[in-house]
Amino acid sequence: MADTPEAIQKAKKLYAFIGLLLFFFTGITVAVATIESLDFGGHGFGAADAIIGLVIASFKACLVMIIFMHLNNEKPMVYFLFALGLVMAFFCVWLIGWSKSDPIQYGNSTKADGFYNPEKPASDVHSKTEAKY
């Protein structure tokens, strides 16, 4: 992290550049989602569009964290706390995933494959809605 007046003055240019970069990638995200010639994968929204949108968002988030939040030059304690937050967030994803392992509704598939497997449901709740029409 910049501490001397000279280093801070220099860092300001970097902050402005990163700001512009964030504007640019926001524009790219919108363009990919709305301009048909930039549509990836099949026609309309699909997995490819989701991946591209989230990859760009993750890249932008990294820029904010590394440059604006000074994670490029921090003490180990900060990295530890930040990693702790991420681990807990992934824990939340895992925890909510368990709601789809309800053995009453979906059969006792949790031991076999972790989460509910839509390919072999005990009841036919979701496969109906995923039918192609």
Partner 1 sequence: MEIPFVVNARKDTGLNNSKVGIWLFLASEVTLFGGLFSGYLFLRIYADYPWPERTLPILPGLLNTFILIGSSVTVVFAWAALKMRQWRKFQVYMSITLICALLFMVLKGFEYDAKFNHQAVRILDDGPVNDFAIIEGHTHYAKLDHGEIHHADKNDEGAFKQNRIAIKASELTFALTRPVHDSYVTDLIEQAGGEDKFKLAASYAVKDPESGDEVVILEEGAPLNTDNLDLAEEGFIGGKSHDAKIRTAFLKSDWDTVRESGNQDAGWKVVVTDEWKEIQRESAEKMKGHLIGAAGSVTYTIDPPLLFHFDPDAVVNHSDEQLRLRDDTTIRGVFDVEGSSLPMAVDGIDLRFTAQRAVEEGIDPAVMIAGSWILEDPDVKKVWDAHQEWLRAHIEYLDKKSKDKGREGEDAYVPTESERYRVNWDQMVSYQRAGYTDIYQKAKNGELKKPNWIEGFTGPNHNNVEFLKAFPEIVVPRDKIGFESSFTPKWNTYYAIYFTITGLHGLHVIGGMIVLGYYLFFGRKMYESNPEWLANRVEIGGLFWHFVDLVWIFLFPILYLM
Residues of this chain that bind partner 1 (CB under 8 A): 2-3, 5, 8-9, 11-12, 15-16, 18-19, 22-23, 26, 29-30, 33-34, 42-45, 49-50, 53-54, 56-57, 60-61, 64-65, 68-69, 75-78, 81-82, 84-86, 88-93, 95-97, 99-100, 125-126, 128-129, 131, 133
Nearest to 15 by CA among 55, 61, 76, 69: 69
Q: Return the number of the residue (1 or 108) whose C-beta is nearest partner 1.
A: 1
For residue 14, give the nearest of 58, 63, 83 by alpha carbon: 63
- The residue among 79 and 108 lying less far from partner 1, judged by its C-beta, is 79
| CB-CB contact of 72 with 66 (8 Å) | yes
Question: Smaller CB distance to partner 1: residue 6 or 112?
Answer: 6
Number of neighbours of residue 116 by Cβ within 10 angstroms: 23
Identify whether the C-beta of residue 33 lies closer than 8 Å to the C-beta of residue 53: yes
